[in-house]
Structure formats: structure tokens, C-alpha cells
Amino acid sequence: MMSDLRVPLPHQPVMTFEQMLEKVRYDGAYPTRERAEEVVRLVLSGLGRQLTGDERVELAARLPFEAASILTAQVPGIQPLTGWAFVKELAARTGATPATTRWDTGAVLAVVAALAGSDLLTRILNRLPTGFALLFGRAELVQAA
């Protein structure tokens, strides 16, 4: 029997929330699972305030259920933030330094990028303001004038 490749298959996340937390804990060099979870919740909440449209829905489908719930529980903000403004806003929410928050953001978004896959990540980055590519572990591409 041949399948119709045009019909998208339901997507099941490739890792559990526990596996996601362990990956973030390892990659971010966090001392405890609880610290890794705090960082995951902070960054996914922030991303949920930035990301809209089909990309938001598709990303949620690729994340573990708990992570998708954190992302989609947020109401997208009216004013999109650049990548640096995003980091500064998260730092202000926690009282952490921008440097620490930049590290936390990179640790979480690298895992999110892997779960999203290259095509979806490209579409997400096209939807977000400048500065997010680096947070996801990609080079920031700028169009020549």
C-alpha cells in the first residue's frame, strides 16, 4: 500500500519532558533538574509571548506535552521583541543578569531548535524579529540592501 506523502502525519514529540529537562540540564551545565525546569519554563513562556500563527501551532505539536502547554498558555504580546530585547525582558522578570539569561535562553532554544527541525525553525525565524537566530544556535542572516 502506498501512502499519500502530501497528507501530513500526526507528529509525536521525539522526547519526553523529562528527557528535554535532562538535555537542557546537561547542555546548560545546571546543577539540578529543578534549575533546568525553571529555565525551560522561563524561556518557553517568553517564546510563547513572541511566536504566533501556524509556526506556534506546529512548534507546540513537536514539543513534549508539558513544554507545549507552557508555550501555548502565553498570550502573544502586541509588540514583538528583538532577540536582545527578549533576553533583557526575561532577565528583568527573574532578576538575573542579561549574560546569565542569554546562556539560559541558548540552552533551552537549542533543544527547541532540534525538536522543531530545520524547515520549521527557518519559518519561525522568518516570523520573529532580528536577533533570534543566534539564540536558537543559528547564524543571523542579513539581506544585503
pLDDT in tens, 125-134: 999 999 999 9
Q: Are 139 and 113 in contact (CB under 8 A)?
A: no
- pLDDT of amino acid 5: 43
User: Three-state DSSP class for 94?
Assistant: helix
Q: Are 131 and 83 in contact (CB under 8 A)?
A: yes
Lowest-confidence pick of 91-95, 109-113, 140-144: 140-144
- pLDDT of amino acid 6: 44
- Which is nearest to 80 in space by CA: 124, 37, 42? 124
pLDDT in tens, 5-31: 444 445 566 799 999 999 999 999 999
- pLDDT of amino acid 7: 41
- Which is nearest to 115 in space by CA: 70, 72, 63? 63
- pLDDT of amino acid 14: 78
CA dihedral (5, 9, 11, 15) positive or negative: negative
- pLDDT of amino acid 31: 97
pTM confidence score: 0.88
